[in-house]
Structure 1
Amino acid sequence: MTETFKPGAWGTDDPRDELARLRDQIRHLRAQARNRPPIAEAQGILKERYRLPDAEAAFALLQLASQRYNVRLRTLAHAVLRLDRPDHGAETWFPGRVRHPAPALESLAIDDASHAHRGAVLGALLSQTLAITTTHMGNVQIGDHSTGGLWLEKHAGLSDDFVDFFGFVGGDGTSCAQAAQEVAQVTVRDVATDPVFTEDARRTILEAGSRAAHSVPLVAGGRCVGMVSAHFERPIHDLHAAQLKALEQTGREVGRWLAWYDRTVVLDALEHLHAAARHPGLRPARRR
């Protein structure tokens, strides 16, 4: 394993620099540990399915589809794991698939929702939520179809320790998990006293400078597909009715769009992967 040193990394005896470096390294390793299992499992499935020479060839297929359709590797890997395999010898993975137009994203002022980049949509969602709630701290999470948990994908104004701790959230112990279960907005008026949190979660949130939070589920077909949360520096009372209505509208718009994205853009990427796997001339040689 090689390590890249930033200019000026040598020649300092400050133990705080070493502590910061070690914390960054631990966060990086934890992120890898979260992402590697589904990607490695997807590599094994693709290697067996398409009789590829090794796992590297399978990764190259995932990477090819990821770059072509601008879909995250982890998103593609999870899709490979949860979707039924294509019929043996089938030219397409999803025959007879009906394409639908993208749902509008009027609350985010995005005109062409069908060509919007997923990262840009989530970024606009976070900005809109922070504007409605008049705070500078918040985060966006995406639902995990297999576990029911939430993956952190966008954040603003939050500490590295917060991002590391809440990189993946399970089914309980946080207000966002409660909002996902209830498919309803949840307000935490004071993080220090609200019983919804585990003690580790509470400590991490407080150390990040958040004393209150409000979570909004991203809803499609009555189920939670993601979450956007705003954090506040001081305890709060309930949000105003107009704020709750605006947040609900945005959550439903983005939730419907994310569901469309999963059954359209992600499936397009998998179709491309399937075609490249079936026709060796289209395959990338190795991992780049």
Structure 2
Amino acid sequence: MNHPHNLVGPLEHVTASYTSAPPRPAHKVTATHTADQLAAWVAFSLDEPSALKTLQDAAEELRDVPELAAVLPRVAGAAMALVDAEFGNIQFLDPRDDSLVLVTQSGFGHEFLDHFAVVRDHHSVCGRAARQGTQAVTADVRDDQAFTPHQEIFRISGVRSVQSTPLVDHAGRLMGMISTHTSQPGRPSDQDLRIMELYGQLAGEVIARHLVGPGADDHPAGLPHNGTTLDQRLPLLGRTGSTNGSTQWVYRVDESYGSAGCRTYGVHPDQWRGRITTDSPDHDAEYAATLVARDLRAEWNIHRPGSARPVHIHVWRGWEGTHRDAAFTLEIQPDLDGRRHRAVDSA
């Protein structure tokens, strides 16, 4: 297998566009709904513990990588390994025009890289996945007439099948696409595709933090000597927390962590971190925290927690801040038997 590497020029160009581009509506996908994420993790932990362990190991490698330029080849390599693919690439969504810019690749020659350098074709696999906000798979590119403009490049490159999975952050914003390719026709198993969906959520959040630059979580900017930030107006708009009569609540569950204070709770940093939309004025921050507590209890009823230490559910209106400016904080602790739980308002 070829070693994945970045295309430095396109990577610097598209990441810089996150600061220079005017604000655009966030491109959202639906696959990151909190309930779906929880259900997926629970299902994997029950039915496919070895698959979950593989995914956790792949995600763990990304946590402490200091630069985006070092993260991306690891993401591409892990994705190829997860679905046993021979080729792979990562594209970033350019916020200026919603095109997909190829920034990392493995296994391709210059013909493929030139042809797919910037994708605006919604009929391609990656373009279709970006437009629909869901994973897209083509078992044999030669059987689909939509790929007629790309057939010569596919033949030169030895590509017969493709899958593209969205890279999304914890709020559901589309950051880009991770695609894998094989030289033989065929479709990855449903399990492999679901693993890729979950990995797209994990890797997408890591990528988003690097693009955002230094913030509340003290994650460094991505590119050396060329750190980039997402549009600074987006958090300011988000802090209002209201859209068309609905309210956006952002939550995070923290646990105590030695002398360092606390860390995000869960098997990966963003399992218990997300967004809840409410439509009723009676559904306040306390209500949102109660929903999260309910999901925590559901998981604890299935899996015995590793400790009886309390966790804190922090809820903010519109945009995540620090625990000090949370609109509501709830402390909840599992009992030692892993079946009964008590909740205490710590605000």
1:180 and 2:120 correspond: no
Higher relative contact order (CA 8 A, sep 6+): 1
Separation (CA, whole Å) in 1 of partners of 2:96 and 2:14: 13
| Structure 2 match to 1:251 | 200
Amino acid at match of 2:131: Q
Deviation at 1:133, TM superposition (A): 1.5
Separation (CA, whole Å) in 2 of partners of 1:130 and 1:112: 15
Deviation at 1:136, TM superposition (A): 1.6
Amino acid at match of 1:175: V
| Structure 2 match to 1:81 | 21
Deviation at 1:254, TM superposition (A): 1.2
Residue 12 of structure 2 is aligned with which of 31, 47, 72?
Answer: 72
Q: 1:112 to 1:178 in 2, by over 3 A?
A: closer
RMSD (Å), alpha carbons: 3.0
Q: Give matches, 1:38-57, under 5 Å.
A: none
What do the CA deviations read for 1:229-277 (whole angstroms, capped 9, x no partner)? 11111110x3212211211111001111222222222799469xxxxxx
Deviation at 1:124, TM superposition (A): 1.0
Separation (CA, whole Å) in 2 of partners of 1:137 and 1:209: 10
Larger displacement relative to structure 2 (248-257 or 72-81): 72-81
Larger displacement relative to structure 2 (183-192 or 75-84): 75-84
| Structure 1 match to 2:179 | 229
What do the CA deviations read for 1:86-118 (whole angstroms, capped 9, x no partner)? xxxxxxxxxxxxxxxxxxx94535457365321
Separation (CA, whole Å) in 2 of partners of 1:137 and 1:115: 23
Deviation at 1:79, TM superposition (A): 1.5
Return the TM-score normalized by structure 1.
0.56
| Structure 2 match to 1:129 | 79
| Structure 2 match to 1:154 | 104
Return the TM-score normalized by structure 2.
0.47
Residue 141 of structure 1 is aligned with which of 91, 105, 126?
Answer: 91
| Structure 1 match to 2:337 | none
Identity among equivalent pairs (%):
25
Residue 116 of structure 1 is aligned with which of 57, 62, 66?
Answer: 66
Deviation at 1:82, TM superposition (A): 2.9
2:211 counterpart SS class: helix
Deviation at 1:135, TM superposition (A): 2.0
| Structure 1 match to 2:156 | 207
- Please tell me whether the aligned partners of residues 59 and 203 of structure 2 are also in contact (alpha carbons under 8 angstroms): no
Larger strand share, 1 or 2: 2
Larger helix share, 1 or 2: 1
Deviation at 1:76, TM superposition (A): 2.1
Q: Give matches, 1:271-282, under 5 Å.
A: none
2:128 counterpart SS class: helix
Separation (CA, whole Å) in 1 of partners of 2:102 and 2:128: 16
Separation (CA, whole Å) in 1 of partners of 2:116 and 2:62: 32
Q: 1:211 to 1:145 in 2, by over 3 A?
A: same
- Please tell me whether the aligned partners of residues 225 and 259 of structure 1 are also in contact (alpha carbons under 8 angstroms): yes
Amino acid at match of 1:162: F
What are the ranges of 5 or more consecutive residues in structure 2 without an aligned counterpart?
1-6, 25-54, 214-220, 230-347
- Please tell me whether the aligned partners of residues 59 and 202 of structure 2 are also in contact (alpha carbons under 8 angstroms): no
Deviation at 1:195, TM superposition (A): 3.2
| Structure 1 match to 2:190 | 241
- Please tell me whether the aligned partners of residues 139 and 230 of structure 1 are also in contact (alpha carbons under 8 angstroms): yes
Amino acid at match of 1:208: S
Separation (CA, whole Å) in 1 of partners of 2:184 and 2:228: 45
Separation (CA, whole Å) in 1 of partners of 2:80 and 2:56: 17
Separation (CA, whole Å) in 1 of partners of 2:192 and 2:115: 29
Separation (CA, whole Å) in 2 of partners of 1:196 and 1:251: 25
